[in-house]
Structures are given as structure tokens and as C-alpha cells.
Amino acid sequence: MKIISELKKLKVGKVTSKVELRKYTTYRLNEKALGLVYPDSVESLIKLLNYLKDNNIKHKIIGNGSNLIFTKYYEGILIKLTELKSINITDNIIKVESGYNLIKLSYDAANMGLSGLEFASGIPGTVGGAIYMNAGAYKSDMGYIVSEVKLLDPDLNIITMYNKELDFHYRTSFLMKNKDYICLEATLKLENKNKQEILDLMEDRKKRRLETQPLDKPCAGSVFRNPENDSAWRLIEQLGYKGKSINDAKVSEKHANFIINTGKARGKDIINLINEIKEKVNKEYGIDLKLEQEIVE
């Protein structure tokens, strides 16, 4: 395939073709993509993006695929930033590249007696993905700890943006609203606390997650954002939707705001189930549920 062979000639990192997305999304969806590139440096990423833009090739940045729903064959190049994973910790300040695993980072911080990332110990994404959607849990999120980020702007210049400019709000940020900007590195400011107390809290929350969430099944976390002063799971459960399925996409019987893949679910199965739930909740309660996950077409 010409595009793939040209990408390999660029020598910007590992290149694979005919990608099975079940290996790269936590939903384990039965979809495919034209190609996937792992840039091995920021310079390689810029070189890759210049080539893709110059040749008008469709592309998308992904992290761990933990919040994505692919609905069909992706006729373009996916760019996975997990090779950008350098980290430096000085006192209570962490500088970390966007491809670093978020759960690992939360434990790195805990083991150094640094508090502020406990909420992230169960979020299976990357630092960049977490900042992009302002990932959070337990009434905290990335917006509380990010002091600044290095970004690629739409012209592929490296710039710095600070917390107030990043427009962090519930499950959204400047990056989500401006998708041509790419997170390269983040500076996080944490607090010094007792290491064992931090680890005990994380362990307690881990036990509760395992008891209440279907983490043993392919899923992508919470499907909908919680409406103001309410819970999406409560509305869905009250409608009797626990266990409701469309083909192999199923509303978890453990947690109504999770959809799981019970076998060979397609992206369209999940979307059809999502749309049905949205319609029922709107009709019954007059609430327009907002999707927390991202649909990729």
C-alpha cells in the first residue's frame, strides 16, 4: 500500500497497516483502520503531521483508545503517542509527556508521597487523553493539578498554555474544543502527603470500582456525563435498561452507565444503544444526556 510504504520511508517510528482496532480500543470493537504510527519523538510527530497534511491524508491522534467508539473502517492514519513517555519529578512538580500511562503515573506519584492523582488510579488512558477530556473521578479531575502544557498548535509550532487558558470544565477542555492542538507534555503540581495514606485510599477505591463496575469486560468507562444534580446511571437504571442489548453491545447489569462488548460488537451497535437510551431518557425525564465518549468516523 503506497501510503504505508511512504510512511515507513519517513522513519518517524513504528508503522503498521490493516490495523484491527480491537487491539487498540478498550471496547475491543470489531473495526479496522488503514494504518497506525507510533512517533518516537516530538520531532518525528511533527515530520509525520507535515507529511499527512501536505498529502491531505485523514488522521487522528489516539492514546490508549479508552474513550473512543469507531463506527466503521477508518480510512486514514491513527497516531498513537504512547512512545512519548518521558517523565521528571522534582519535589512536588511532575513534568510528563502525553503518552505516559495515567494509572502508572498515579502510582508513581503515590509512591513518592505526592497527592492529587488518586482519582486517576482507575482511569485507563494516557496523560494527553486525560487532559484532552479533563478526565476525572471522585469530585476531582485533571484541571485541579495541571499547571501548564506544551502543545503543537495547528501550524505545528510548539507553544505553552497555562491552566486558566485551558478552559477545564466537567469532562471538557480547550483541547476538546480545538482538536487541531495536540498535547505533548504536561506539568502537574501535586501536594506532599503520607505515602501509605495515599496508597490506602487508592486501594479502597480500587476495591469499590471492582465491586460496582464491569471492569472485567471490554468497555470504555462511563458512557454519559452526569446531568447537573443527578446521575446518568440512576436515570438509565430507573428506565429498566440494565442488561438491555443490541447484538453484542449491552448495558452492564453491574453499572447502568457502562456499555460492554459481550463478543463481537460493532461501533454501530454501541451507537444504536446510546441513541436509544438518550431518546428514552429525554422522553421520560426531559434530560438530554451528553456523551462522555467520542465517536470516530
> Which 3-state string (H, E, C) describes the chain?
CHHHHHHHHHCCEEEEEEEEHHHCCCCCCCCEEEEEEEECCHHHHHHHHHHHHHCCCCEEEECCCCCEEECCCEEEEEEECCCCCCEEEECCEEEEECCCEHHHHHHHHHHCCEECCHHHHHCCCEHHHHHHHCCEECCEEHHHCEEEEEEECCCCCEEEEEHHHHCCECCECHHHHCCCCEEEEEEEECEECCHHHHHHHHHHHHHHHHHHCCCCCCCCCCCECCCCCCCHHHHHHHCCCCCCEECCEEECCCCCCCEEECCCCCHHHHHHHHHHHHHHHHHHHCCCCCECCEEEC
Q: 2-80 is classed in which CATH architecture?
A: 2-Layer Sandwich (3.30)
Fold of 214-296: 3.90.78
pLDDT in tens, 240-249: 999 999 999 9
Strand pairing partners for 32? 20
Q: How many Cβ atoms from other residues are within 10 Å of residue 191's Cβ?
A: 11
Domain ranges of the chain: 2-80, 87-198, 214-296
The pLDDT value given to residue 215 = 92
> What pTM does this model have?
0.93
Q: Look at residue 1 in the predicted model and tell me its pLDDT.
A: 77
Catalytic entry in 115, 222, 252, 266: 222
**Active site annotation includes 222:** yes
Based on the residue annotation, tell me whether 292 is a catalytic residue of this protein.
Answer: yes
Q: Is 171 in the active site? A: yes
The catalytically annotated residue of 171, 173, 252, 266 is 171
pLDDT for res 83: 97
Q: Decide yes or no: CATH 3.20.20.210 for domain 87-198.
A: no
Nearest to 145 by CA among 94, 181, 185: 94
Q: Which of 31, 97, 185, 292 is catalytic?
A: 292
Stretches in the chain below the pLDDT threshold 70: none
pLDDT of residue 106: 98
